[in-house]
Every structure is written in structure tokens, then in C-alpha cells.
Amino acid sequence: MKTYHFKGLLQNDGWLENVAVRVDDEGKILSLNQKNKSDNNSGIIEGFALPGFQNAHSHAFQYAMAGLAEKHEGTANSDDFWSWREAMYQLALSMNPDQMQAIATMLYSEMARHGYTNVAEFHYVHHDQQGRPYANLAEMGSRLVAAAKTAGIGITLIPIFYQKGGFGQSPNERQRRFISPNIDEYLKLLEASKNACQFYEHANLGIGIHSMRGVEPDVIAKIAEIGPQDLPFHIHISEQLKEVEDSIQYLGRRPVEWLLENVRLNDRFHLVHATHLTDEESRGIANSKANVVLCPSTEGNLGDGLFPLRKYQKEGGKWSIGTDSHVGLNPLEELRILDYGQRLISHKRNSFYSSQQGDGGMYALEMATITGRKAMDNYTSDFFKIGQPLNACIINASSPLIASSSLENLASTIVYASDSHMQLGVISHGKRIENNHQESDSKIRSAFLNTIKELKNR
């Protein structure tokens, strides 16, 4: 049993000052009490507690190639998502389970350093280098769960159904580690992944489709209908213009248009990227109560485009954030990039808003928290609640801009004017993980550096 004392704690309706949070041995909140400033308490944290950030979209292995796809030969060569994908294939074909675990452990530790306490791992490197299933179908998934356990954050493992090489195309040889040829094989993988999650109390399961080009569309509709109905359902969709064009040619429909017509969407569905939408598609997603996962740093890096956030929010659409390829890991930067992209194309400043919430910073934190939790299969809407795990991102209260801000301006100061140096670490499921003070830091770093040397890709 522990008690944490914060200078401030953010709840849905605003800040509570001088709060003592008592947790049980499982990290669940037993009490939330405001204390007098004069109280002499041990365990005082000179910081403000935000709800722990939810990373709703991650490809852990891609962390090993972050920053390596920026060298372009000549000026006439076309370089876009599809050439980046070839570099990604080469990395995916190279690594073994030990290397996957080392990369993911380093990544998840870095996520914790930046304020994330949970990650949705969109996992599709399933087989060995020759494309053969491991004896344990979820060998790679189990390594990701082990990585999250070592790093101390929660994980929602989403084994991905990947069947095709494109609309109407057989998979290519470079995709051999990803492929489940049919629904039955995918359901076996899903069951094995469920078993892998049992070895970590903060691991759970999601269901996922790589994309409409990656699985035959009628199979997507079938798995949505017959697959487990109590799991979050994740899918890449409409990320690239070529994907939209190919879908129109193959199906006579845009990807989201087809999905809205053929799948009964609800709030367990998370459409990742959804960059290129018509007004009708934005309205349809919002009305279905499905959610969108936005990954601004990766979407910017890949040149995907800008999601139509203003139109989507106007319809009441809900969104969360993810770091995808991990070229950026700070959730506050993800929120800023998302907002500033909208400002640049609209020439207006108030991108983050709703009829109930006029505070841009508070609105961003609320959306990223509550919708992000849904992506993890957690429908708790209270930021901090008795009986729920204590998951918090701690902001340094002595940082000049933070120390000088009124509570009224604090949320937006944190979102718009802070950096990673102002973050003291996280409390994940009741356990504090301080920035650069993890006992296992040196082992995690050493294993990662050795892995990169072995892969010879940097």
C-alpha cells in the first residue's frame, strides 16, 4: 500500500490541489483526498498529475528504423509511403524474437519516460524469417507482452489479420512473416495471443485488420460479424491517396464508404489514420460512434496528409493519438502537431473545441485519455477514480511556466508550452517510473544497442 501526494491532480471537471492518492498493493486507487498545505507527509511529489497517456497505435519493431528513411538519392526520384514501406519490409524480415523483445522493451521504456502508461500494439510480424509459424503461434506477441512487463506499462496486444498484398493481389514474398491465409488461421493466432496475455496482469487483447487492401473486404465484414464482440477492433484505413484510388477501382467504393455500408460499426471500432475522408464519411464515422486514431508525427513524416479534424469534431467524432512508427514519442507533441496542422489549413486557431469544452488544452487531454482508453478496452471515463488503477503522467511543478500558471491556464500551458524535460515520469498501475531512474535502464539500453549492432541497419 502506498500514498502519493501531488501538488495538483487533474479530474474531468478541473484541478484538485494538494491531493493524496492512496493505492493498494495492486496499484488500484483506495482514496483521493485533498490535504492541507501544512500537512507533513512523506512521499510528496512536487508535480501535477495528468491521467496517463494512452498510445493507441504502435508498431514496436519500427522504432529500430526511426530516422533512417530520410536520405533520398537525387531530386527526381519519387520517395513516398510506398518506398518507405520497402525499407520497413527489410527490417521486418531481419529480426528474431529476442531482437523484437529488446527493441520493444527500449521503446516502451521511452514511452513511459514521455508520459504513456498504456500501449495498443498493432502487431503483424507473426512468423519466422522464412514465413513459417512458430511452435507458439504467438511467439512474437508474447515477446511484446514481456517487453511491456519489463518496462512497466500496460499493453493491449492486437494480433493483426494480414492476408493480401493489395486489393485483389496475393501477398508478396516480403510480407511472408505477416500472413494468415484465412479466418480460421487468424482465429488460432488470436487465441494464442490471448494465452500470451495471461502472463502479465496488465496485458489484454484486441482484434485487428491490417487494412482493406491487406484483407479481402468480404472477409473483413465476416470477421467483424463472427469474431469476438467484446474486444476493441482496430484497422488501418484511407491512409494514402493511392489506397483510396485502388479501392474505388476494385470495389467501386472508397474504403471508409465501403466499411460504413458493410460493417456494423460501434464504439469498439478504431479506424487508424482515416486521413482522406469525404464529408459524408466523416459524418458516418461519427454517427456510428466509431473512433479515429491519429498519429500526427508519423502521418507528417510519411506525407499522408491532414485528417479533416474540424469537420469530424463538428459531427461529434471522437479521436485518440498514437505514435505508429515512433519518429515522435511525446504525446504533447502529437497533440500540438495535430492542432497546428488544422490551424495552418483553416487559418483559424481554435481547432480543439466542443460545445461543452472551450479550453483547448483540456479538450485535447480529455479526448486523448477517454477515447485512447477505449482503444485499450477500458471504458472508464473518469480521469482518476476509486477502484481503478492509478495511471498518471507527472509534470514538474517547479518548471517556470508551470509554476507561474494559474489552475485555469494550467492544462493548456502543459499541452502547448511544455517539453519532455518538464515530465518527471509516470505512475503506471500504482508503481512510479521516474525518468532515467529505472533500475533496469542500463540492461534495457544495452540489450537494445546490441540488437541494433546485430541488425546492422543503423
The mean pLDDT values, 10 residues at a time, for the chain of 458 residues are: 96 96 97 72 85 98 92 63 80 96 98 97 98 98 98 98 97 96 98 98 98 97 97 97 97 98 98 98 98 97 94 95 98 97 92 76 96 98 98 97 96 94 95 74 94 94
pLDDT attached to residue 69: 81
pLDDT attached to residue 304: 93
With CA atoms as reference, report the closest residue to 141 among 187, 184, 190: 190
Which one from 57, 273, 326, 429 is the annotated catalytic residue? Answer: 273
Residues 6+ apart with CB under 8 A from 58: 107, 119, 120, 121, 122, 322, 323, 324, 326
Which one from 246, 324, 339, 359 is the annotated catalytic residue? Answer: 324
Q: Which domains does the chain have, with CATH numbers?
A: 2-51+386-441 (2.30.40.10), 54-375 (3.20.20.140)
Cβ atoms of 318 and 381 within 8 Å: the answer is no
Give the pairing type, strands 423-428 and 431-434.
antiparallel
pLDDT attached to residue 168: 95
Q: What is the pTM of this model?
A: 0.96
Q: Is 5 a catalytic residue?
A: no
Cβ atoms of 433 and 426 within 8 Å: the answer is yes
Q: Is 273 a catalytic residue?
A: yes
3-state secondary structure of 327: coil
